[in-house]
Chains A and B, each alone.
Chain A
């Protein structure tokens, strides 16, 4: 790094510890010989300290909304068109979907159907007798 090539942005990076060892060595070598860069480094450091000491301030009411709201009529129309298109897509998809049938397995009937088929191949007495038992599947 020559005398004419001042450190510039590298000074801020030096304070942030973002330089590689070789870069840091070169910048420090330059600072040892350049009063202008030493002064600039001091100013950057003081400025950083001042900024960091400032109190946090809440944005005024409605700041974000104003920032997000499009200022131009054509932008608002674009957003509205997008929203309408999305809603229309949802509607078309909904209409294209057949209503899903719901199934309530009638367990008593299924048990009867099983008992009937099972009793034709096994011992019919012990298989069919439970079908006459007073069991309710309802609460």
Chain B
């Protein structure tokens, strides 16, 4: 309990980043309001997730509760947010820390840099009246957000692609809000420390340094390293994408089984979906790229195509590798 309160205090002290507060015009940022409501409002309920995997719309249901700055989602696994710390529990691996509290938040650009935000009346979700907010890009509604009228808790979030097709939805089917006697979820005492560590941009290897912006208005916010993997975080104010880079040749044998073969600027690539977003893997030169984001698939592809790939390997390198392959064909690997 002390740990929970302590982390909540730390999170409160860290607070939202200046970027997140820097909304330039219009009304308040609805997602920022939802974020604050999630940290301050006790609630407990069940959520239905819908996500599109190629042409199939998949569904799953989970239990979610939160109070005192701690959130817990329970399905086949459990995911927890304690202040800015993120943890996940799996039956085989126990509690694992995905994001240390000390990392804080990468923040995000102001929403209306790339989007138009407008109110769209009211609705009912799980028995609560909601204020509906639409987020548009180029005149097309990309998100509909239902904020509970009194607390601004986000009760429903529907995401659409550039053609208006539903890609993903998060909906509270049932929720109880404001029970102050609710006890907070118990955070694990000693999770496995596996989270990333921050990487100053100047320390990012030159082979992995990427521009400050990608297509569709995504701005680079942070760089992190975990093992041999460098993670660069980008955001356009509404969606986040992570560009993971690993040095070496791609072994496609361990890619997700339910993957889709595609092409990225003529290069072979493999796309996949999960309840929270989309991903795409490709390789260029000696780097394997994995771009993951809570964005519609069409936008993720656009962003991936804008990642400048490093020059192909040198002629001498390719010659040496060819010689190595030739010798290994006779002698086996050495």
Contact = CB atoms under 8 A, between A and B. Distances in A.
Q: Do A and B bind each other?
A: yes
Contact of A120 (B51, B78, B106, B255): B106
Given A105-B288, A117-B99, A132-B75, A122 B257 contact: no
B323 A122 contact: no
B325 to A, nearest CB: 8
Given A104-B251, A124-B38, A131-B77, A110 B275 contact: no
Interface residues of B, number: 88
B78 A122 contact: no
A117 B106 contact: yes
A122 B76 contact: no
B219 to A, nearest CB: 12
B28 interface: no
Interface in A107-135: 107, 110-135
B60 interface: yes
A121 B29 CA distance: 12
A106 interface: yes
A99 to B, nearest CB: 7
A7 B209 CA distance: 77
Interface string B164-178: 000000100000000
A121 B258 contact: no
Interface centre among B195, B231, B323 (most CB of A within 10 A): B323
B60 A134 contact: yes
B327 A117 contact: no
A135 B275 contact: yes
**Size bracket, chain A contacts:** 35 or more
A51 interface: no
Contacts of A130: 49, 51, 274-277
B235 interface: yes
B196 interface: yes
Interface in A82-102: 90-91, 93-94, 96-97, 99-102
Interface of B: 17, 20, 31, 34-35, 38-39, 47, 49, 51, 60, 62, 64, 66, 71, 73-81, 84, 86, 88, 98-99, 103-108, 153-154, 157, 170, 195-196, 221-222, 224, 226, 229, 231, 233, 235, 240-242, 244, 246-251, 253-258, 272, 274-277, 279, 281, 286, 288, 290, 292-294, 317, 319-321, 323-324, 326-328, 333
Given A94-B323, A107-B279, A131-B79, 17 more contacts: A93-B324, A94-B327, A97-B323, A104-B251, A105-B244, A105-B254, A113-B98, A116-B86, A116-B195, A118-B242, A120-B99, A121-B240, A124-B71, A130-B275, A131-B77, A135-B275, A137-B258
